[in-house]
Chain A
Amino acid sequence: MRGLWNLTWLEVKIFVREPLGFIGTVLIPVVLFVALGRSLGERVESSSRLQGFVESDFPIFVVMLTAINAVVSLVAVIAIYREGGILKRLRATPLRPHTILTAHVLVKLIFTTMTLILLALAGRRFYPVALEVPWVSFGLALLLTTISISSIGFLIASVVPTARFAQPLGSLLLFPMLGISGLFVPLEAMPAAVQGVAHALPLTYAVSLLRGIWLGDSWMAHGWDVLGLAVVFGLCTALSSRVFRWE
């Protein structure tokens, strides 16, 4: 892992220099979260359904959105680096291939963490309802989720032919997964066929785990979710290490 920290730190600096890099990834989600939360919060009193949404579903939604955004931009970065010959140039140094990829995952994790901490702080101050959430457990669950989705990102990055398709394809695959993950419509309310598909998708396990931990469930109650995410990670990593192209 020689060079991992140097490369990671360098990529962090490069990311901050990008127009909209920091603002788009870190600030915009926080502002949206606060603004939407407040406008919904004013109507909480009149509807208990809305109260549940504001207390758990909306925060989970924002968190998932942040994680998916990070992964989509990871896919884009890797595709751009490959197309531009940057990956190839880095590979002709003593940097090991997995060091280069790990550095990029770390960069995304760093900025996602930053976004989420800001979200939490902003939530404390401005959010319409007070929340008692097991933050440490939730943070761990989120880390697991993000790493697992990142491995899907790698698989996508391994097969997209050009950088132009990378970002749209990433969004096209991940956002519909979120759509039927049980976050918006309970799984039981969906047609059987859709339920079957949902159970094969990692975001379903991610949402179930995050929501459970958020609401105070024990980890034991979500063993299957953890297993599901781990299996996805194992499968996608193994597959993408076979089909990944450096140029």
Chain B
Amino acid sequence: MSTAPVIQVTGLRKRYGSIVAVDDVSFDVQDGEIFGLIGPNGAGKTTTMECVEGVRQPDAGRITVLGLDPIRDVYALQHRVGVQLQEAHLQKRIKVSEAIALWASLYRTSVDPRLLLEQLGLEDKRNAWFMTLSGGQKQRLFIALALINDPEVVFLDELTTGLDPQARRAIWDLVRGIRARGKTIFLTTHLMEEAERLCDRVAIIDHGRIVDIHSPAGLIRRHCPQRSVLLTTDDESAEARLRALENVAVTRADDGVLTVQGNAADLMTGVIQCLADHRIRVTDFQTVVPTLEDVFLKVTGHTIRE
């Protein structure tokens, strides 16, 4: 990596009374990547992100964003970053176009508000009051507000929480579009699927501590390399044939389903080859690839929903 990281966090700590929300957190975010902070509710994601945004004062640690100190240089930084806060609201009776116009007037540079609303599919909601927007529309408005100043770094805190799957997918496409325009994106989510589909790299955070940082595929390879094939067949010889494959474990369930497990990347190829070579007829074939959920369970000892 030739350029310096866009965000550098070292030894960040923050407590609320006796609750330690963030405990010695360190990570870097590189130029042009989508970096995700993932973990269950209460893990310390929002606190960490708000310290980086300069909205919250850390107790200890060093943070730089674009070479600036988020607390000391907050007004300089605000012109260069875009922020979407978790659980934000606007005035009930503010119109979409008024919110965009106000935001545009606050920054030194701004993109064309009309174009932005069009890109986010809000142009026919220009004159709607904030209180009349749906959850997805509100979220898109907040993304628009975060992009109005053509920021170099965009912060997105739980941007699809509470949205239906369709709206969620639309927003994912949008975020990819933002990265395609060369922006750096720092997001948080407690949705593992979202992290896996969207992020170039993720940091897993639990109880205020970073557990591991890598690309989603890298984390899976590192912590949950095991894949499985589940198949159903009437062929009595199948179990013995599959057992003959190298580095695999085969188990048979009560209902006759065979499970073939192994760590090798070409496990599927080996199984298919074996079935073909011995002309084994299967009536059902299913592969199970580990996800970030499995990684999370493995590294923290609990599921993300606990």
Contacts and interface: CB of A to CB of B under 8 A. Distances in A.
A85 B102 contact: no
B85 A94 contact: no
Contact of A94 (B78, B94, B98): B78
Contacts of B85: 85, 88-89, 92
Nearest to A96: B75
A18 B103 CA distance: 22
A86 interface: yes
A84 B129 CA distance: 16
A92 B78 contact: yes
A13 interface: yes
A201 interface: no
B103 A93 contact: yes
A96 B284 CA distance: 63
A3 B98 contact: no
A2 B104 CA distance: 12
A93 B89 contact: no
Contact of A86 (B78, B79, B89, B107): B89
Interface string B88-116: 11110110001001110111000000000
Nearest to A77: B91
Contact of B91 (A86, A91, A93): A86
Contacts of B53: 92
B180 interface: no
Interface residues of A, number: 22
A151 B103 CA distance: 28
Contacts of A88: 55, 85, 88
B89 A85 contact: yes
A49 interface: no
B88 A89 contact: yes
A86 B94 CA distance: 12
A48 interface: no
A227 interface: no
B83 interface: yes
A17 interface: yes
Nearest to A17: B93
Interface residues of B, number: 22
Given A13-B98, A84-B89, A88-B55, A6 B105 contact: yes
Contacts of A17: 93, 129
B94 A14 contact: yes
B117 to A, nearest CB: 17
Interface string A174-189: 0000000000000000
Interface in B106-147: 106-107, 129
B137 to A, nearest CB: 16
Given A2-B106, A7-B102, A86-B89, A92 B94 contact: no
Interface string B31-72: 000000000000000000000010100000000000000000
Nearest to B79: A94
A89 B93 contact: no
B164 interface: no
A95 interface: yes
25 contacts: A3-B102, A3-B105, A3-B106, A10-B102, A14-B93, A17-B93, A81-B91, A84-B89, A85-B85, A85-B87, A85-B89, A86-B88, A86-B90, A86-B91, A88-B85, A88-B88, A89-B85, A89-B88, A92-B55, A92-B78, A93-B78, A94-B79, A94-B106, A94-B107, A95-B106
Interface of A: 2-3, 6-7, 10-11, 13-14, 17-18, 81, 84-86, 88-89, 91-96
Given A7-B102, A93-B103, 16 more contacts: A2-B106, A3-B106, A6-B105, A11-B91, A14-B93, A18-B93, A81-B91, A86-B89, A86-B90, A88-B88, A89-B90, A92-B78, A94-B75, A94-B106, A94-B107, A95-B106
A-B CB proximity, top 4 nearest: A17-B93, A84-B89, A89-B88, A92-B83
